[in-house]
Amino acid sequence: MEEKPEQDRIPDTPLFDRKRSLGGYRINKMAMGLSRPENREAFKQDEGAYLDRFGLTPEEKEAVMTRNWREMVRLGGNLFFILKISAVDPVRITEIGAHQAGMEHDDFLRNRLGKKV
In this structure, which amino acid lies at residue 8? D
Select 34 or 51, whichever has its Cβ closest to other proteins. 34
**Among 42, 49, 100, 104, which residue sits at the site for other proteins (rule: CB under 8 A)?**
100
> Cβ distance 31 to 88 under 8 Å?
no
**Among 49, 62, 93, 106, which residue sits at the site for other proteins (rule: CB under 8 A)?**
93
Q: Looking at the chain, list the stretches that DSSP marks H as alpha helix, in order from N- to C-terminal side.
A: 18-23, 25-32, 37-45, 47-53, 58-65, 69-74, 79-82, 85-88, 93-101, 105-111
Q: How far apart are CA 22 and CA 98, in angstroms?
A: 26
36 binds other proteins (CB under 8 A): yes
Q: Please identify, among the stretches 45-53, 59-67, 96-104, the one whose residues bind other proteins according to the rule CB under 8 A.
A: 96-104
Q: How far is the CB of 12 from other proteins (least distance, A)?
A: 4
Near other proteins in 48-77, by CB under 8 A: 70, 73
44 binds other proteins (CB under 8 A): no
**Among 53, 55, 80, 104, which residue sits at the site for other proteins (rule: CB under 8 A)?**
80
Q: How far apart are CA 117 and CA 111, in angstroms?
A: 10
